[in-house]
Structure 1
């Protein structure tokens, strides 16, 4: 790892694995990957998972554009549904 903080890069690995990370972020991550075997190994695993999912999940028209939670369906934002302190923290 060469003393580099991988945490800053790990969040983008999944997006990079499916080819959706662009611009400077993608270039920065690519440069990091050249010198970081653990991140390259994790990227390889994420790419395998993405490939499996691509073959297992039937394509849907408009996939990824619908509401993801009950709160979205009712017009509530996540902050409204869970409050500013998160789920289960009303005090």
Structure 2
């Protein structure tokens, strides 16, 4: 990729694409882009995605996203209240071990 290690530069491409990379990082990435066609191509794709997202946000008719409803507690499918190990979330194998109660391994 342009004869250099692009890894450090590629991390900042998304932020650069939306114009939020600042200072010396932006300057260094800009200098890298002048000599790295693959990174320029990726930046062009990222800018396209950023523009698409911005356009879809503007077209969202200004309505607020739906708010989640109240959390509903799931029923127990006709079973009675949980007690013992199962009430604490432990299964019998956790409570007694894989070998069962009173068995040696």
TM-score by length of 1: 0.62
CA distance in 2, matches of 1:28, 1:55: 29
Aligned Cα root-mean-square deviation (Å): 1.8
For 1:60 and 1:19, how far apart are their aligned partners in 2? 26
2:15 aligned partner: 15
Residue number in structure 1 paired with 2:82 = none
Q: Which has the larger radius of gyration?
A: 2
> Partners of 1:12 and 1:60 in 2: how far apart?
32
Aligned length: 61
The structure whose residues are more often helix, as a share, is: 1
**Paired residue secondary structure (2:4):** coil
Q: Where in structure 1 are there 5+ consecutive unaligned residues?
A: 62-91
Post-superposition shift, 1:60?
8.3
| TM-score, length of structure 2 as denominator length | 0.54
Aligned residue in 1 for 2:44? 44
Paired position in structure 2 for 1:32: 32
